[in-house]
Amino acid sequence: MSQMLKKIDEMNYFELLAWLGIGSSHPGGMPYTRQYLPELELSSNHYVLDAGCGTGATTCYLAKQVGCKVLGIDISEEMIAKAQKRAEREGLGELVEFKACDVTHLPLPSSEFDLVLAESLTVFLDKPRVYKEFYRVLKPGGRLADVEMALVQDLTPEVREEMEQCFGPRTQPLSFEGWVGVLQKAGFIYIGTLLPQYLRPGSNQIVQELRNDWVFIKELVSKIREPGLMARLKSNAEFNQRNQAYFGYGVICGRKPEEFGLFHHLRRVLRG
Ligand SMILES: C[S@@+](CC[C@H](N)C(=O)[O-])C[C@H]1O[C@@H](n2cnc3c(N)ncnc32)[C@H](O)[C@@H]1O
């Protein structure tokens, strides 16, 4: 019998994901990650931060594919414990490391990473604050790649309310231009959106992702019959299906300037 502290309908979206141990809950899921990662042209000497790594599916995939070191961080201790288990099972102890911490106050030195990767994280948080931290921990010339949901048309008040019920009251997707604007304000340059997509049915199918993720499949079998689980998953999937015309997603990319000279400092100050 699985351990469950809260009833399914009392869990918020993150608690549900952590309890299920879902590996890829970002738009496009693992297939999208496999599609965009090669475009980032990473090599084994890069050091990557996977921010809001969840159970570490992308962290481990990246380390395996590229052979680079990756630090996965997540605010949820439960997610981090599962991510560590995944890395152990995949024999990636040398390359990956995990840490439970808050992305808005990273206990990490400045100018440390070649790439900060985030998948479905910033949409739920205070964006300027998160990007300020990402900027700080990147090396000069380092890159940010953030996979987020984007609005392709304004939400009606009803759809917004339903979205907040499914994903939490702080969920706030921006338009693609809106995402670019926040990155600009944070001081990033060479900003753009890689592989923009429209939301399609099945682009974020929690059940589908769970079926394809062998690491936690055994634990899942014991949970699948918990009262209310299938109804909750179905209602999230149906929200996406009914409202797909409002949403797209893509990899919002930017670069920290090579030299943090007086010119860039003045530009940031003038932008506020
Ligand atoms: C939608 S999930 C995405 C997880 C993973 N990136 C993926 O694609 O499956 C968002 C993750 O962000 C984590 N998170 C939320 N707020 C955070 C914060 N302030 N600092 C670090 N992680 C946070 C949650 O615990 C959750 O694991």
| pLDDT tens profile 163-184 | 999 999 999 999 999 999 999 9
Beta-carbon contacts of 60 under 8 Å, excluding residues fewer than 6 positions away, are 83, 86, 87, 90, 92, 96
Q: What pTM was computed for the model?
A: 0.90
Model confidence at 1, in pLDDT bands (50, 70, 90)?
A: very low
User: How many structural domains compose the chain?
Assistant: 1
Length of the chain equals: 272
**Looking at the domain assignment, is residue 128 inside a domain?**
yes
**Looking at the domain assignment, is residue 12 inside a domain?**
yes
CA of 18 to the centre of ligand 1 (A): 9
Question: How deeply is 229 buried, as exposed, middle or buried, from its count of CB atoms within 10 A (0-12, 13-18, 19+)?
Answer: buried
Ligand 1 atom 16: residue of nearest CA: 75
Q: What is the pLDDT of residues 92-132, one digit of tens each?
A: 999 999 999 999 999 999 999 999 999 999 999 999 999 99
Torsion of CA 80, 14, 124, 195, to 10 degrees: 70
**Looking at the domain assignment, is residue 1 inside a domain?**
no
**Looking at the domain assignment, is residue 150 inside a domain?**
yes
- Residue 77, domain CATH: 3.40.50.150
- The pLDDT, as a whole number, for residue 254 is 98
**Looking at the domain assignment, is residue 2 inside a domain?**
no
Share of the chain above pLDDT 70, in %: 86
CA of 263 to the centre of ligand 1 (A): 34
**Looking at the domain assignment, is residue 60 inside a domain?**
yes
Please check whether residue 98 is in contact with residue 83, taking contact to mean a CB–CB distance below 8 angstroms: yes
Q: What are phi and psi of 173, to 5 degrees?
A: -70, 150
CA of 130 to the centre of ligand 1 (A): 12
**Looking at the domain assignment, is residue 188 inside a domain?**
yes
Q: Which atom of ligand 1 is nearest to the CA of 29?
A: 8
Residue 177 structural domain = 8-271
**Looking at the domain assignment, is residue 182 inside a domain?**
yes
- The pLDDT, as a whole number, for residue 211 is 63
